[in-house]
Amino acid sequence: MWASEPNSEKIKMKQEIAIELKHVEKHYEMGHSLVKALDGVNVKINKGDFVAIVGPSGSGKSTMMNMVGALDLPTKGNVWLDGQNIEHFEESDLAQLRGRKIGFVFQTFNLIPTLTAKENIGLPMMFQKVSGDLKSKRIDEILKNVKLTHRGDHLPNELSGGERQRVAIGRALANNPDIILADEPTGNLDSKTGLEIMSLFKELNKKGKTIILVTHDLNLVKYASKVLKIRDGKLEGGKIRK
């Protein structure tokens, strides 16, 4: 009995890892030059973490975001999402995996202007073939969670910037993903509204969602439990904040 416990503990620890980058490099050819946008990056993001990826313009933040979001394959190394090496997936299967595991939130909201808040939130469920009744129930629950129950039938141009970002967060939650990846989510918002959005991310994190925030705004770092600093494609040591 005692001999089996260390193995079960190892399995438990492995299951807690949401995303892992192992010796990841990403190269781009710029004329006759080879640019290493990422250069030997090793990262483990555990389920339930609130991670901030920070760095100056051109540091490799966007490339890092594409890697942790399983949006691109590395030139060298491996990216593991929920214990699976994404290199082994066909693009269609990887898209389905991303759709189930990761919700994306962008600086520019990326809402479809001809769809209501409800319809924008429900859009990702179509690709996962969620049934009509369950879809409607989920949308109502999400609108309540992002405090937009009274605005569900409004088009994006009838909403404030903060409300549009809440719709975008609701859309990211549509398929109940484990991970929310937010790229400069407060970049187009005033400071007060930005604080409200960050508070919402904090609430989602307390409910068990893994939050990955990509930003150049160091004022947002205080919300994170782990900070990954990147410069010239290399990590400058991710530090845990307590």
List the domain boundaries for the chain: 4-240
Q: Which residues contact 84 (CB under 8 A, 6 or more apart)?
A: 97
What pLDDT is recorded for position 229? 93
- Which of 103, 123, 126, 124 has its CA nearest to residue 114? 123
pLDDT at 4 over 50: no
What pLDDT is recorded for position 82? 87
What pLDDT is recorded for position 132? 84
Contact by Cβ (8 Å): 42, 68: no
Q: Could you read off the pLDDT of 128-175 as tens digits, one per residue?
A: 888 888 999 999 999 999 999 999 999 999 999 999 999 999 999 999
pLDDT confidence of 126, banded at 50, 70, 90? Answer: confident
What pLDDT is recorded for position 237? 63
Secondary structure element (H or E) that encloses residue 136, with its range: helix 132-145
- Which of 213, 216, 194, 217 has its CA nearest to residue 205? 213
The β-bridge relationship of strands 17-30 and 33-46 is antiparallel
pLDDT at 62 over 60: yes
Cα separation of 216 and 213, whole Å? 10
Kindly report the average pLDDT of the chain as a whole number. Answer: 88
Provide, rounded to the nearest whole percent, the portion of the chain with pLDDT above 90. 72
| 129 compared with 49, residue with greater pLDDT | 49
Can you identify the CATH homologous superfamily of domain 4-240?
P-loop containing nucleotide triphosphate hydrolases (3.40.50.300)
| 239 compared with 137, residue with greater pLDDT | 137
pTM for the full predicted model: 0.86
pLDDT at 12 over 50: no
Average pLDDT over residues 98-127: 93
Average pLDDT over residues 199-218: 93
